[in-house]
Amino acid sequence: MDLFQELLEELRNLSEEDRAKKLKEMEGDCVCPICPTYEDCGKGENVFCITQKSSCVDMELGCLCPTCPLAQKYKIGVLYNFYCHRGTEKEQREG
Ligand code: SF4
Ligand code: SF4
């Protein structure tokens, strides 16, 4: 199991409330809101690598994920990225 899979496992084992709290902390690292591809759907969407793809991004204009502290810490964002449009890291790994 790699670092990112361990993170998903950790999140899976948390209560809904603690999971939401942890995701909220991760939002602090997520650079999506300043990315050229990002579209604000008015729902505060971010951390697409873990949550789900965006409900309004429909064009890829570059991806800042490789520069994200969370991506660097958990070693994601290079092989797979554009999570807002292509789906989560897990979804992309599973093809
Ligand atoms: S890897 Fe991308 S989607 Fe995930 S937190 Fe970082 S910037 Fe956001
Ligand atoms: S997932 Fe990548 S492409 Fe999408 S908004 Fe975040 S940084 Fe930009």
Rounded to 5 degrees, what angle do the CA atoms 44, 12, 24 make? 25
Q: 23-35: per-residue pLDDT in tens?
A: 999 999 999 999 9
Residue-range definition of the domain harbouring residue 15: 3-94
Would you report the helix, strand and coil content of the chain in percent, each value rounded to 5? 45, 0, 55
Q: pTM to 2 decimals?
A: 0.96
Of residues 55, 23, 26, the one with CA closest to residue 40: 55
Residues 79, 6: Cα–Cα separation, whole Å: 18
Our answer on whether the CB atom of 65 is closer than 6 Å to any ligand 2 atom is: yes
* Closest ligand 1 atom to Cα of 46: 8
Percentage of the chain beyond pLDDT 90 is 97
Count up the domains in the chain and report the number.
Answer: 1
Q: 32-88: per-residue pLDDT in tens?
A: 999 999 999 988 899 999 999 999 999 999 999 999 999 999 999 999 999 999 999
* Closest ligand 1 atom to Cα of 65: 2
Give me the pLDDT at residue 90, please: 98
